[in-house]
Amino acid sequence: MSNSLGIDCGRWEIERAVLVSNSLGIDCGRWEIKRAVLVSNSLGIDCGRWEIERAVLVSNSLGIDCGRWEIERAVLVSNSLGIDCGRWEIERAVLVSNSLGIDCGRWEIERAVLVSNSLGIDCGRWEIERAVLVSNSLGIDCGRWEIERAVLVSNSLGIDCGRWEIKRAVLVSNSLGIDCGRWEIERAVLVSNALVSCVTELGLKARKKETQLL
């Protein structure tokens, strides 16, 4: 893949996909790719480096979409995150995005905790029945909420998906310099590098719930 990302292609047998970093901001929907190659000028990736048979996995904003494969016991990990596969026993799949961190919302997670070393999150801090993703860089404390389904937190984009119901959303980060006007957005565009309003809102809800319990 890209030398700048420090990813070694030799680590995987890739028959149906190539993992591409979110930092490329490439949207798969723009092309029909059968034997195509994604090339990012910013990363200086050479087309001739891969033979891609079926598809290229790319996410503009949410990271990697594992729905395109059936992964029995696979773990796709980026060297740049410094994540050691041996740390988990993963029955279905764990996809880790170089830039966005971890997206649990795509899976049913019984009692799993997906943790990125780069986020500095300690698994032992929570008992999580479904999934809770938290980015330390955003200063979010898991203990402040009871989250049954999932909270998507992006380390680099600072986006909290749990706040909205999004049907055909586009998540856009100011830090990536993505222009919302480039897409048709049916429901929403989430743009926020800091979760000030979100934290305030959820904090008020948490206090209200605590008061009701008392």
177-211, pLDDT tens digit by residue?
333 343 322 223 333 322 334 444 444 554 555 55
CA angle at residue 117 from 115 to 119, to 5 degrees? 80
Half-sphere exposure of 116 (CA within 13 A, CB side): 29
The H or E element that residue 204 is part of is: helix 196-213
Domain count, the chain: 1
User: Please, what's the largest Cα pairwise distance for the chain?
Assistant: 64
pLDDT at 208: 59
Q: 113-122, 139-148, 204-213: which has the highest mean pLDDT?
A: 204-213
Q: Is 95 strand, coil or helix?
A: strand
Does residue 150 have a pLDDT over 50?
no
Percent of the chain, pLDDT > 70? Answer: 0
Per-residue pLDDT of 15-48, as tens digits, reads 223 333 323 333 333 332 322 333 332 233 333 3
Q: For residues 156 and 172, give the distance between their C-alpha atoms in angstroms, rounded to a whole number.
A: 11
Place of tokens 């565009």: 189
pTM for the full predicted model:
0.13
Please, are residues 162 and 154 in contact by the beta-carbon 8 Å criterion?
Answer: no
Distance CA 7, CA 21 (A): 10
Structural domain boundaries, residue 52: 3-213
> Mean pLDDT across the stretch 2-27?
34
Residue bearing the bigger pLDDT, 201 or 8: 201
- State the average pLDDT for the chain: 34
The mean per-residue pLDDT over the stretch 57-70 comes to: 32
Give the number of other CB atoms < 10 A from CB of residue 172: 24
Rounded-to-integer distance, Cα 149 and Cα 128, Å: 10
- For residue 107, what are its two tokens? 């899976």
- Per-residue pLDDT reduced to its tens digit, 120-142: 433 333 323 223 333 322 333 33
- For 46, how many CA atoms within 13 A lie in the half-sphere containing its CB? 4
